[in-house]
Amino acid sequence: MSLRVGVRELRDNLAEYLEASMPIEVTRHGQTIGFYIPVPKKPSQSERDALLEAGRRMREEMEHMGITEDELVAGFKEWRKKAHAA
């Protein structure tokens, strides 16, 4: 998915768009002339620690519930099928 902006909009708000995390489709007179694709930023140590903690808590909760990773993935896939069918 990308954000679509005109050249003038991009120029007027360049600093904001350079901080974007999703690709930006650049247009001129409604025609695509290019894309800006940001390089993912390296997570900070605190962000990395938070992700590791979330993973640890998820593992603990799965053990508490008595489900495996495969069962969790299968349940998620089934949920997505139902959500897209509705």
What secondary structure, in 3-state letters, does 6-71 show?
EHHHHHHCHHHHHCCCCCEEEEECCEEEEEECCCCCCCCHHHHHHHHHHHHHHHHHHHHHCCCHHH
- pLDDT at res. 38: 87
Beta partners for 28? 31
- With a threshold of 0.95, does the pTM exceed it? no
pLDDT tens figures, 25-68? 999 999 999 999 888 778 889 988 998 999 999 999 999 999 99
